[in-house]
Every structure is written in C-alpha cells, then in structure tokens.
A and B are shown apart, each in its own frame.
Chain A
Amino acid sequence: MGNYFIAFKPLANLFADEIITPPPITKKTLEIGAKYSPEFACIPFKYNLGNYVEALESGANLLIQSGGGCRFGYYGEVQKEILKKIGYDFEFIKLNNNYFKALCEIRKFNQKLSYIKILKTALLSYFRLKVIDRIEDIIRKNLGFETKIGEYEKTYKKFLTELDLTKNIREVNTCEKKYLSIFRKIDIKKPSNPIRVAVIGELYVLMEPFSNFYIEKELAKRGIEVHRFVTVSSILHDVFSFGFHSRKFLSQAKPYLKYHIGAHGSESVGRANQLAKDGFDGIIHIKPFGCMPEVNAMSFLHNISKDYKIPIIYFSFDSQTSEAGVKTRIEAFYDMLSMKRNSLSIYETKANL
C-alpha cells in the first residue's frame, strides 16, 4: 500500500530468508484480481488478490493478510481458497485481530527468534511508519504551492531511500529531523487563506494512491491544501486504544449518530461533522463500490452537508471506474469551490463598504 512496504520490511526480514516486494500496482493487477474474485466483492479485495497472484508468480511462498471490522476480516479465508483453486502452493497467515496466535505462527518459521527482538523490530517499523506519515502530511498540504515544480517529489524519493537504510530508532529520528528541515527550506508561495479540502472515507482507497487515481495530487496541483487524517499509524493507534478512539468519534458525530454504524463509518461521520464546524471549504468522500459502512455513513453526510452548507462530493471506485470521469468531476468541484470563495469575498467587501 503506497510506500509503506519500506516500514514493514524489517519486520518481514526477521522470519523470511528473502522478501519479494510485489511489483507496483498497475491496471494489470486489477485485471487479474477482478478475474478471480467474486463479482461484488469490494475493490480492495480485488487489488489484494491481484497483488498476491503477482507476488506468487515472482516466487513468494508466504502471504500475510490482516483483518478488521467489516468484510476485511473475512478476506483471508476466501482469498486463500481462490488462490488454492488457481493452483498455487503457499503458506498463509491470517492476523484476524488475534495477535498472539499470529505471533506464535510467525515464530514457527524461525525458532531461534526471541520475543524481545520481535518487539524491537516492531517498534522500529512503527517509528518508520510515523515518520512516513508525518512527511507525507507536510507534502499534501504544500505540494500545490511550490515555486519549482517537482521539488517535493524529488526530495521525498531521496527521503525514502535514506529511511530504508536506517537500522534503529535513533537513526530514524535523525533522518526525520534532517528531512523535516530540508522540507521546510523548500520555497513555497502560499496565500494566507488557501482553499482547504479534506479527504475522508474508506481506508484502502484513501491510502493507496493508485486506486483513487492520485486524487490528492490532482487536488494539490490546483492549489488546494489537502488534509487527510487516516494513515497506517492512525489505524494502529485506533486498534490499540481499547475503543477510546471510536468513542471519541461517536461523540463528535453526536446529533447525527446514536450508535456505531460499523467499522470506520462512524469515524467518517464524526470527522465530517468536526470539519464542517472547523470551516473547511469542501469534503471529498471516497469509497469502494458496495463498501457497507461507508454507504451507511453517506446518508448522514447528506444531512451534514445540508445543515452546515458544506459541499461534499462522493466517489465510488470499482474496476470499471474511468479515470477521465473522476478527473472531470474533481475539476468541476474545484471550480465550484473557487467560485464560492469569490462570491463570498465579494459579499464581504460589499459589507465592509
């Protein structure tokens, strides 16, 4: 998913002789995935399956699938059966919210491994994740305003190669500090009050830029400050907070929700409510087609949009979604936002006169 494989590399290194990073996601991945998956499974399922097939083709024999709230927890078993039916030979580990069992299973592959070492590398992975998320957040907010186009991306690539070489937490920290100062020095021309847009929705399509047709870059190019709150580290916080986070989101979504609506649906509603109160210019809600919790959330988002007069645009991604259609709609959304801004400023100047 995105550039996160760099973070998980040390963890995988512990118990495997050789790691095979699957080739980057392309149209072909999706084609393979869609060919073998059930027809109305959601799009992350198809991408995952495509990735697995491509990894198995290039010689992998151990696959790992995590698990979560909605249908995600059930992916593992169905995918295993499908891959077996195609005729591959492999081992499959399902994490499925039962971390201790998964840990025992992982230890089978390398008996000499001590738990302390596993914990240490897990921490290293976690810190790498956090650094990646922090840097990406800065890029998202400033990419649209750089004076020399392409500078952010160039520095980001350099940063990733350097992060890959770090061996312990201290090195990760020095790497972070170095690149934070470098990013700060990049020349930008940012107005004092730029158009702010938040992207919310389902985790996978949010975090995998290929699956949402690089929606964030598309927005940033037009001079918009893009905010995104869901990252891998935020999900980890969520998982290990014993329900504290989800309760927080439920209280944020208060007048609209009384109970949880499953998986990360209540998070979307809570965030949208908070963003509307904070005075964001627009919200983009993206989800795979047929995603159950996010479709639930949509009916509340309609109400929030009506009550706070905040524009919300909905995208749903499937294997048939066309890139041109998404781009056209984003362009129209941007035009609408900037026109709204202009008309508001005219009103304000009139009022001042």
Chain B
Amino acid sequence: MVVRFKFLCYLLNTMENNAKIKIGIPRALLYHKYHKLWEIFFEELNCLTIISPETNKEIIENGVNLAIDESCLSLKIFLGHINYLKDKADYILIPHIVSLHRKEEICVKLISLYDITRSIFKNLNLVEYTVDVNNFNPEFFSFLKLGWRFNKNPFFIIRAYIKAKKQQKKCEQKLIDDQVKKLNTKNQDDIFVLIVSHPYTTYDGLLGKPIIKFLEYQNVKLIYSDITDKKMIKNLYKNISSDLYWTYSKELLGGLELYKNQVDGIIFLVTFPCGPDALTTNLCQNKLKKLMIVITIDELWGEAGLKTRLESFVDILKLRKQNG
C-alpha cells in the first residue's frame, strides 16, 4: 500500500515536472554572483531550473571551438555551458547587465553576452533581463518584465522577486560572517593568503577550484576579496585607484584594500586576456608593497608548472613567517 502510494506520488511529481517550463542557467560568469537570486525567483514562479554541471574538459573544448579565438577564457567557458544546455531546456537565461550604479560600467564582454550567444546559436529561446541604471532601467522592473513571460500575475512576480532577493542577501551575509570568523580565530603560525579574482574564476570547477584545493592542502588559510559587505567598501577602492569605473573591479579592489593588512600574501587569478584585470593588476603591483603573485590562466595551462609556482610562493610565505 505504502509502496503504491509512493509510486503514485513519484508519478504525479514527474508529470508535474514535465509540464513545468524548464529554464536553463549556465554555470558560468555571473551565475557565481547571482545564482541564489535566479534559482529562487524561478522556483517561486513554478518553473524548473536546469543548471549546467561544473565546468569540465568537454565543456571547455566545446566553448573554445565555438568562440572567436581572441575572446577571454571566461566567455569561452560560458559558450560551452550554453552548448550543454541547448537541447535540455526550453529557455536559457542570459543576464544583460550594463550598469549597476550611476557613472559606472561593466566589462563590455558581459554587456554583449546576449547578442554573442544569439549570433552563435541560432533558433535558441533566450530570456534576458536588462539592468541599466545609467539609462533608468533598474533591476526590479526588468525582473518584472522577465517574470511576465512566465506568469501574468504581477503581485506573484513581485513576491517572488522580494523573496529571492532576501535569500540572496542572506546567502551573501553568511559567507561574509564565515570569512570574518576565519580572520578572528587567527593563530600565530597560520598563513593567510588573499585571493583577488572575479567570482567566475575563483569558483569555477576547472579554473579556480583546483588551485583552492591545492592551497588548502598546503595548510594555507584563504580569504576571498569578492566576499565583502558592499556598503562598507563602497569608497575604499579610491585608496588604490581614483578613476576606476568597472563595478566588479571596484568591488575587488575594495576587498583588497579591506583585507590587505590582515594577510601575508596576495594571489591574483587572471584569465587570459581579461581586459580590465590586465590594467588593474598592473596598477596594484606598482602601488602596493606586499608579496604578490599574478597567475594567468588560459586553456592550455600545464598543471605541473602552476603547482610549482604556487608551492614556491607558499614556501616563501612560510620562510618569511619563521624569520619574523
């Protein structure tokens, strides 16, 4: 009896899931920043979200074949994820974020994501939401417009948006609390290293995660510059650079400024050839007097060489600590 009931439930569930609209979210670029917001927003709208798996060799290969060979590695990975999702989902979500604050910009690669995907994959159902504060197009209205495609009840959409936004904030706050806790429980012998890189490099399955794993294996405590209270670091970047205008780079430099006195060394992770990072890392190298290393990742990196560099960097840090 119980078994039959369970089977019935399962059947009903699958039927319901089949009827639901499937929305594909590529696990690349801005996913690592806004994943909670998107997932919960679509869940509240009774849509099924399909998220592509962690980046693997196959995804990266497909992406490299699809993209223009001079575009940055992060974009290539993004296209690989879209290629994975193209037959599995009804719609694919692509954020089109132009500016998040007044007089600020976003890297042009992220602005043109929607059009580039459309030019490479034809006959693909794409949904996008635009955030352009400079041209009076805030996030809330574009989410309302996005939700309108799946649900015709505006109150329902607003509720979903607010709920998703709350969850997103909660998630961010938890990460910040964890990091502060890590810094406060500091031992004398612990080595702290600050990783300065965009979330889509740090948390990517093939770019950042092996490096993080390796460093943690070496008993290094890691601090991330992208996990910060955005209100607190609003004007901190000005200590390093006075006229920076990319929002995400500003956040990274703000984090760098906030944590730089509490860590022993700094690691910059840069994908090849990232435009904004090429200039900002150079500026940091010229201005800051700290032990730092710039690691550039492209699609043909050798793992052995990377590990040797990281190992020697950690060794230097350890020696410095011992000698005081």
Within 8 Å CB of A259, what residues of B?
96, 98, 111-112, 114-115, 130
Which residue in chain B gives the minimum CB-CB distance to A257? B115
Please tell me if the beta carbons of B112 and A71 are within 8 angstroms of each other in the complex.
Answer: no
A284 at the interface (CB under 8 A from B): no
Please tell me if the beta carbons of B243 and A77 are within 8 angstroms of each other in the complex.
Answer: yes
Please tell me if the beta carbons of B286 and A300 are within 8 angstroms of each other in the complex.
Answer: no
Bound Cα distance A198, B278 (Å)? 32
Bound Cα distance A257, B113 (Å)? 11
Bound Cα distance A158, B119 (Å)? 48
| Max chain A Cβ within 10 angstroms of own Cβ: one of B109, B130, B272 | B109
Bound Cα distance A261, B275 (Å)? 15
A17 at the interface (CB under 8 A from B): no
Please tell me if the beta carbons of B245 and A74 are within 8 angstroms of each other in the complex.
Answer: yes
Please tell me if the beta carbons of B283 and A81 are within 8 angstroms of each other in the complex.
Answer: yes
Please tell me if the beta carbons of B70 and A41 are within 8 angstroms of each other in the complex.
Answer: no
A76 at the interface (CB under 8 A from B): yes
Within 8 Å CB of B272, what residues of A?
40
Given contacts A73-B245, A74-B245, A77-B283, contact A296 B112 (CB under 8 A): yes
Please tell me if the beta carbons of A38 and B282 are within 8 angstroms of each other in the complex.
Answer: yes
Please tell me if the beta carbons of B283 and A258 are within 8 angstroms of each other in the complex.
Answer: no
Given contacts A74-B244, A259-B114, contact A293 B282 (CB under 8 A): no
Bound Cα distance A316, B118 (Å)? 24
A213 at the interface (CB under 8 A from B): no
Given contacts A41-B279, A74-B245, A290-B70, contact A262 B115 (CB under 8 A): no
Bound Cα distance A315, B107 (Å)? 23
A256 at the interface (CB under 8 A from B): yes
- State how many angstroms separate the Cβ of B210 from the closest Cβ of chain A: 23
Q: Which of A258, A260, A290, A316 contacts B275 (CB 8 A)?
A: A290
Bound Cα distance A2, B116 (Å)? 34
Please tell me if the beta carbons of B112 and A40 are within 8 angstroms of each other in the complex.
Answer: no
- State how many angstroms separate the Cβ of B201 from the closest Cβ of chain A: 15
CB neighbors of A among B214-246 (8 A):
241-245
CB neighbors of A among B85-112 (8 A):
96, 98, 107-109, 111-112
| Max chain A Cβ within 10 angstroms of own Cβ: one of B71, B108, B120, B244 | B108
Which residue in chain A gives the minimum CB-CB distance to B272? A40
Please tell me if the beta carbons of B108 and A70 are within 8 angstroms of each other in the complex.
Answer: yes
Bound Cα distance A302, B111 (Å)? 19
Which residue in chain A gives the minimum CB-CB distance to B270? A40
Within 8 Å CB of A252, what residues of B?
none
Please tell me if the beta carbons of B114 and A78 are within 8 angstroms of each other in the complex.
Answer: no
A152 at the interface (CB under 8 A from B): no
Please tell me if the beta carbons of A81 and B243 are within 8 angstroms of each other in the complex.
Answer: no
The digit string for A41-71, where 1 denotes a CB below 8 A from any CB of B, is 1100000000000000000000000000111
B62 at the interface (CB under 8 A from A): no
Which residue in chain B gives the minimum CB-CB distance to A67? B243
Please tell me if the beta carbons of B115 and A78 are within 8 angstroms of each other in the complex.
Answer: no
Q: How many contacting A-B pairs (Cβ < 8 A)?
A: 104
Please tell me if the beta carbons of A290 and B273 are within 8 angstroms of each other in the complex.
Answer: yes
B179 at the interface (CB under 8 A from A): no
Given contacts A70-B108, A259-B96, A295-B68, contact A38 B241 (CB under 8 A): no
The digit string for A291-303, where 1 denotes a CB below 8 A from any CB of B, is 0110110111011
- State how many angstroms separate the Cβ of A263 from the closest Cβ of chain B: 6
Please tell me if the beta carbons of A258 and B286 are within 8 angstroms of each other in the complex.
Answer: no
Q: How many residues of A contact B (CB 8 A)?
A: 41
Bound Cα distance A289, B125 (Å)? 33
A96 at the interface (CB under 8 A from B): yes
Q: How many residues of B contact A (CB 8 A)?
A: 34
- State how many angstroms separate the Cβ of A45 from the closest Cβ of chain B: 8
Please tell me if the beta carbons of B70 and A295 are within 8 angstroms of each other in the complex.
Answer: yes
Please tell me if the beta carbons of B243 and A74 are within 8 angstroms of each other in the complex.
Answer: yes
Within 8 Å CB of B109, what residues of A?
292, 296
| Max chain B Cβ within 10 angstroms of own Cβ: one of A74, A96, A316 | A74
Within 8 Å CB of B112, what residues of A?
259-262, 265, 293, 296
The digit string for B113-154, where 1 denotes a CB below 8 A from any CB of A, is 011101110000000001000000000000000000000000
- State how many angstroms separate the Cβ of A44 from the closest Cβ of chain B: 13
Please tell me if the beta carbons of A85 and B286 are within 8 angstroms of each other in the complex.
Answer: yes
Bound Cα distance A77, B245 (Å)? 12
B247 at the interface (CB under 8 A from A): no
Given contacts A74-B245, A300-B115, contact A289 B70 (CB under 8 A): yes
Bound Cα distance A327, B115 (Å)? 33
B281 at the interface (CB under 8 A from A): yes
Please tell me if the beta carbons of A316 and B70 are within 8 angstroms of each other in the complex.
Answer: yes
Within 8 Å CB of B98, what residues of A?
259-260
Please tell me if the beta carbons of A77 and B70 are within 8 angstroms of each other in the complex.
Answer: no
Within 8 Å CB of A290, what residues of B?
70, 273, 275, 278
Bound Cα distance A305, B151 (Å)? 40
Please tell me if the beta carbons of A70 and B275 are within 8 angstroms of each other in the complex.
Answer: yes
Please tell me if the beta carbons of A292 and B107 are within 8 angstroms of each other in the complex.
Answer: yes
Please tell me if the beta carbons of A295 and B115 are within 8 angstroms of each other in the complex.
Answer: no
Q: Which residues of B contact A (CB under 8 A)?
A: 67-68, 70-71, 96, 98, 107-109, 111-112, 114-116, 118-120, 130, 241-245, 272-273, 275-276, 278-279, 281-283, 286-287
A-B contact pairs, 28 of them (CB 8 A): A38-B279, A42-B275, A71-B279, A73-B243, A74-B276, A77-B244, A77-B283, A78-B279, A78-B282, A78-B283, A94-B243, A258-B114, A258-B118, A259-B98, A259-B112, A259-B115, A261-B115, A262-B112, A265-B108, A289-B273, A290-B273, A293-B108, A293-B112, A295-B70, A296-B115, A299-B67, A299-B116, A300-B115
Q: A96-B243, A300-B115 are in contact. List 7 more A-B contacts (CB 8 A).
A: A38-B282, A40-B278, A78-B279, A259-B98, A259-B115, A295-B68, A296-B115
